[in-house]
Amino acid sequence: MDTKIMLTEEQIPRQWYNIIPDMPGPLHPVINPRTLQPVTPDDLLPIFPMAIIEQEVSNQRWIDIPDEVRDIYRLWRPAPLFRARRLEQALGTPAKIYYKFEGVSPAGSHKPNSAIPQAYYNKKAGIRRLATETGAGQWGSSLALACSMFGLECTVYMVKVSCTQKPYRKSMMQLWGANVIPSPSEFTDAGRSILAHDPDNLGSLGIAISEAVEDAATHDDTNYALGSVLNHVCLHQTVIGQEAKEQLKVAGDYPDVVIACCGGGSNFAGLAFPFIADRASGRQVRCLAVEPASCPTLTKGIYAFDYGDTAKMAPIAMMYTLGHDFMPPGIHAGGLRYHGESPLVSQLYAAGAIEAKSYKQNACFEGAVLFARSEGIVPAPESSHAVRAAIDEAMLAKEEGKERTILFGLSGHGQLDMGAYDAYLSGNLEDYEYPEEKIREALERLPKVSV
């Protein structure tokens, strides 16, 4: 049996899987933050091309992947599926562990799967520049890569604290031709108003989103691109799960549980949604989303309408949220910092169709180090949440003396995250659990939506 299960380029999916027609119930409306009425396509046209707006609300189960996008996917897709034999041995588990490795993309994560089509549709719509935000730099570098491939300019508002923590991600974005601006910045009203109250503000994803959206909304030739959360991003990522299903077929297997880390929810959606689709034909498969205890959106957040960003410019969506002014603790090293969660993933969780679990960061890094010492690959700190949960599932199988097939998403490699690994290896990483009272406080600041 092979260690790596590979497909040919011919087997790159030709369509994305859209879960919207298969959701448990209708979608909640997305709300315009100014009018508090449902968002119309006209509201979104200043920042998104029509093709993306259509995908956001499409009821078509399968959506064709344009040839131009598929041709760029060929540079790294199909991504390999590994059987983690050495990890299984290290754990002494009867479980079979498979992982789908998205770290083979040029940017080192799953994010180019959506950056490439987003750049493509914007180019086709005659847009000249894309503006976006980035935290750890994974999305910014993926969009910089995609823009360079389609001859678009790229402006990235990078959370200020990350610019110092992840300087090489900034270099990567610049290498692919992007203009990187530390956020909060003096370039936007949103940034200026934050700096006026708090000149030393270290930034957050919510603030950086406000800046990028404002930049796009105030320039005709510029659109906005979001790396997670939205329906079309989840859609684009479904190449991951579709390939994984084909690869498991080659291995003669099917998972009992599918595990992925969950920030905004896109790599979880990408891996899990094609398996959730199998339930219609009677398949039993658990899907587990894993998040940090310091940003526990699904496991401790509230299912409510909330703003997508701190400055209340981005649309309001029904989602699990920690409150739009959530600020992750500075000691948090593992990424996955967004205050909200994909509305699709949120609705599935509220309906009991998926499970969620949170881990403290030392447990995640411990799992990542065990993984690196058995399988070799250094996981991205984000992915280490999935690694940890997969290890625990395998250990549970051992305790119960049961066979079990585990599939997890290794959403990226961690070779540019050595600062975080240094902190872990030198014992300087503190565990932190987000306090309940902060979540109760945030409730009071949620928008009052009555549609």
Ligand X SMILES: *Cc1c(COP(=O)(O)O)cnc(C)c1O
Query: Under the criterion CB under 6 A, does residue 377 sit at the interface with ligand X?
Result: no
Give dist(CA 72, CA 403) in Å, integer: 39
The amino acid that residue 284 corresponds to is Q
Query: Under the criterion CB under 6 A, does residue 231 sit at the interface with ligand X?
Result: no
The contact mask relative to ligand X for 79-118 (x = CB under 6 A, - = no) is: ------------------------------x-x-------
Query: Least distance in Å: CB of 42 to ligand X?
Result: 27
Give dist(CA 378, CA 366) in Å, integer: 12
Pair type for strands 81-83 and 4-5: antiparallel
Closer to ligand X by CB, 271 or 304: give it: 271
**End-to-end CA, the chain:** 55
Q: Which residue is nearest to ligand X (CB)?
A: 412
HSE-CB for 17 with a 13 A CA cutoff:
22
Query: Least distance in Å: CB of 336 to ligand X?
Result: 6
Interface pick for ligand X out of 178, 319, 380, 394 (rule CB under 6 A): 380
Contacts of 405 (CB under 8 A, 6+ apart): 95, 96, 98, 253, 254, 255, 256, 257
- Which range binds ligand X by CB under 6 A, 179-187, 264-272, 362-370, 416-424? 264-272
Give dist(CA 438, CA 95) in Å, integer: 39
Query: Least distance in Å: CB of 234 to ligand X?
Result: 8
What is the largest distance, in Å, between two alpha-carbon atoms of the chain? 61
Interface pick for ligand X out of 118, 138, 294, 310 (rule CB under 6 A): 138
Query: Least distance in Å: CB of 379 to ligand X?
Result: 8
Query: Least distance in Å: CB of 401 to ligand X?
Result: 33
Query: Under the criterion CB under 6 A, does residue 383 sit at the interface with ligand X?
Result: yes
Interface pick for ligand X out of 180, 277, 412, 424 (rule CB under 6 A): 412
Contacts of 325 (CB under 8 A, 6+ apart): 206, 310, 339, 442, 445
Contacts of 5 (CB under 8 A, 6+ apart): 80, 81, 82, 83, 247, 248, 250, 251
Query: Under the criterion CB under 6 A, does residue 382 sit at the interface with ligand X?
Result: yes
Query: Under the criterion CB under 6 A, does residue 134 sit at the interface with ligand X?
Result: no
Pair type for strands 302-307 and 316-321: antiparallel
Query: Least distance in Å: CB of 163 to ligand X?
Result: 17
Interface pick for ligand X out of 411, 416, 421, 442 (rule CB under 6 A): 411
How many residues touch ligand X (CB under 6 A)? 19
Query: Under the criterion CB under 6 A, does residue 390 sit at the interface with ligand X?
Result: no
Closer to ligand X by CB, 321 or 411: give it: 411
- Which range binds ligand X by CB under 6 A, 185-193, 209-217, 265-273, 397-405? 265-273
Which candidate, 405, 423, 415, 357, places its Cα nearest to that of 385? 357
Closer to ligand X by CB, 271 or 397: give it: 271
Q: Map the footprint of ligand X across residues 320-339, applying CB under 6 A.
A: 336
- Which range binds ligand X by CB under 6 A, 151-159, 266-274, 315-323, 351-359? 266-274
Interface pick for ligand X out of 266, 297, 346, 405 (rule CB under 6 A): 266
Query: Under the criterion CB under 6 A, does residue 265 sit at the interface with ligand X?
Result: yes
Interface pick for ligand X out of 212, 262, 311, 333 (rule CB under 6 A): 262
Q: Map the footprint of ligand X across residues 27-86, applying CB under 6 A.
A: none
Residues of this chain that bind ligand X (CB under 6 A): 109, 111, 138-139, 228, 261-268, 336, 380, 382-383, 411-412
